[in-house]
Amino acid sequence: SVLSGCQEKNELVMGTNAAFPPFEYIGGADGNAVVGFDVEIAKAIAEKAGKTLRIEDMEFDSLLTALNADKIDFAIAGMTITDEREKSVDFSDPYYEATQAVIVRKADNPISTKDDLNGKKISVQLGTTGNEIAKEFTDDSNIVAFNTGFEAIMELKNGKVDAMIIDEQPAQNFIRQNSDLEIVSLDFDPEYYGIAVKEGKSSEELLPIINETLKELKANGTYDKLLSEYMK
Ligand code: GLN
């Protein structure tokens, strides 16, 4: 095998947080598998590496620690490539352009511009870029951070916060299921999702396989097919 170190196994372990539809969520035929856009990409990576894919579902905020502790081989979780994260791990080429969205209750929506976020109570997912954006507008004491977007949505539905910030695709997914909520588009900067690997051996050996897989998926039309299948 071209892979060694923690990849000296027949399996490749993907770390994710399966509460981020349509990228990763619990579903499938039996209703309890981890499925989604990222899972399809991970399957292609495992196939290219000649390994069986195993999925470890964990808190989003634990992924990079798990990676550096060799508990997982790569993290794919709709994870935005940021300078801060680049300090502790290496990222693949970007594979998806995203942005942050603000979700509010239709009945009492206090937000129509970014300035309106100042001082508001905001729910987020812990350790996400949405969490970072919330900090730009409001004090920590006004931010309620949850391990999953679902919990952050419940906080908003229950009237405990004024808004919730999360990536646009999961935001659209949440409002489709909650007719009392809506998205306010506030034109945040684009973010680029990347697949994270541990620095060193993984970066030297697994990262080229990951980048090669991404290139092939784009070139052979699979990537576009997955987009139309998963992004609504
Ligand atoms: N893209 C966001 C981030 O990287 C959210 C990812 C997630 O919650 N799975 O922080």
Share of the chain above pLDDT 90, in %: 91
CATH number at residue 156: 3.40.190.10
100 lines ligand 1 (CB under 6 A): no
ipTM reported for the complex surpasses 0.85:
yes
| Residue 3 confidence class, pLDDT cut points 50, 70, 90 | low
Provide the domain limits for residue 163.
100-184
User: What are the tens digits of pLDDT across the range 154-183?
Assistant: 999 999 999 999 999 999 999 999 999 999
Is residue 16 located within the same domain as residue 88? Answer: yes
List the residue whose alpha carbon is closest to atom 5 of ligand 1. Answer: 128
Is residue 198 located within the same domain as residue 90? Answer: yes
Residues 8-35 have a mean pLDDT of: 93
**Environment class of residue 177 by beta-carbon count within 10 Å: exposed (0-12), middle (13-18) or buried (19+)?**
exposed
80 lines ligand 1 (CB under 6 A): yes
Residues 79-100 have a mean pLDDT of: 98
Cis link prior to 22 (omega < 30° from 0)?
yes
How is 5-70 classified by DSSP, letter by letter? GGG-SSEEEEEE-SEETTTEEEESTTS-EEESHHHHHHHHHHHHHT-EEEEEE--GGGHHHHHHTT
The whole-angstrom separation of Cα 73 and Cα 169 is 25
Helices (H), 87-219: 129-137, 149-157, 168-177, 201-219
Phi then psi for residue 100, to 5 deg, are -90, 145
167 lines ligand 1 (CB under 6 A): yes
What domain count does the chain have?
A: 2
What atom of ligand 1 comes closest to residue 193's alpha carbon?
1
Q: What is the mean pLDDT of the chain?
A: 95
pLDDT of residue 219: 98
128 lines ligand 1 (CB under 6 A): yes
Q: Are 211 and 92 in contact (CB under 8 A)?
A: yes
Share of the chain above pLDDT 70, in %: 97
